[in-house]
A and B are shown apart, each in its own frame.
Chain A
Amino acid sequence: MALDEALLRLAAEQRIATVRFYQWREPTLSLGYFQKLSDRERHPASLSAAVVRRQSGGGAILHDRELTYSISLPENHPLARNAQSLYNTVHETIATVMRRHVSFSNQIGLIAEESPTSEDNHFLCFERRAKGDIVYRVSAEPKNGKVNHKIVGSAQRRCRGAVLQHGSLLLEKSPLSPELAGLNDVCGTTFSPASLASELRTEIPRALGLKCSPGKICQEVRSRVESWYNEKYRNPQWTARR
């Protein structure tokens, strides 16, 4: 989280775009920026997980058996200005990569319209439905009342000069969120986080018109990361600020 915030500032101050993929050392619940820490009581299965608060909005994500990405774009990028355009472009790219490897590729798609507001208040991001989310559509009779499984969700943080988009690609059901099926569960695939990241590392920059090369974290960014990691993201006051 601290690195993503540092990359957002880098985009704002130096107009450097970054695309990053990562996983978590231990199962971790990331709260949306405005969510209350006490709301995690609404999801008992994940209470044993570590917790952190994101800069980006939306619902909580249980980071386990998934792939996390972040994209930081300076404001002069053509897609930086409009939230939905960036969301859709990245998600269309991810969906295209996923479709290459599944048998019923037409069942993976983006939600075309906003869902009823009754779903907006779910604690978990993957229980919510918003325009542009990637879902696996259930073709026959819905099981457990679900007509689709959300497999990718994203959220943004916007500040002067740049935008950060966070997202999660849910690959498999976690014991800490057993109600959420992942891509491999519903498609019978064996995607690993590394294999998906390998393809997306090429495809997302291409879709965004970026010439990306593997980069090392410079000292300036590293200093900020250390500072924000210790003073903010590891700080219980930040986590419990709401």
Chain B
Amino acid sequence: MKQEDLLYAKTHEWVAVAKEGGTQIATVGISAFAVEALTDLVFIELPAVGKQVEAEQPFCEVESVKAVSDIYAPVDGEVVAVNSALPDTLETLSSDPYGAGWIAKIKVTNDANLAKLLDHAAYQKQCEE
């Protein structure tokens, strides 16, 4: 996915929204900027499929050599898929954060959350501050 086409949360999650059968599905991952700041990642605990998540609340945790970090849900909804290969291939979060490094897909239940997300230019500006 092109970084320029994605939406971003202030907490460094990226979001790609697609329509599937009349519902909006948000694919979520974490930005290259965030991955680099965390240093080498060693563990991720994925959310359970079916879990109800709330925008701006933690829904997943990742551990690097130095830190445990929360990953926040960018939208309200239900987790409908997770990247189950990710825990065994954590290097893809660094090598392909916007593709093979996706974390979860969330069925969006509240469109209003999407309006609060940043576009690429605004997110880049935040990272440079």
Contacts and interface: CB of A to CB of B under 8 A. Distances in A.
A187 B32 CA distance: 42
A114 B65 contact: yes
Nearest to A154: B66
Contacts of A57: 63-64, 66-68
Contact of A159 (B37, B43, B70): B70
A87 interface: yes
Contacts of A92: none
Size class of A's contact patch?
A: 20 to 34
Given A81-B37, A82-B37, A83-B37, A157 B67 contact: yes
Q: Residue among A34, A131, A154 with the most chain B CB within 10 A?
A: A34
A166 B127 CA distance: 26
What's the dominant secondary structure at chain B's contact region?
Answer: strand
A110 interface: no
Contacts of A158: 38, 67-70
B66 A160 contact: no
Size class of B's contact patch?
A: 20 to 34
Interface in A175-203: none
Contact of B68 (A87, A132, A156): A156
B39 interface: yes
A83 B67 contact: yes
Contact of A33 (B38, B56, B58, B68): B68
A58 B37 CA distance: 17
Given A81-B37, A84-B39, A131 B68 contact: no
Across the A-B interface, give the 6 residue pairs with the lowest CB-CB distance, nearest first: A156-B67, A57-B68, A158-B69, A83-B66, A57-B63, A33-B68
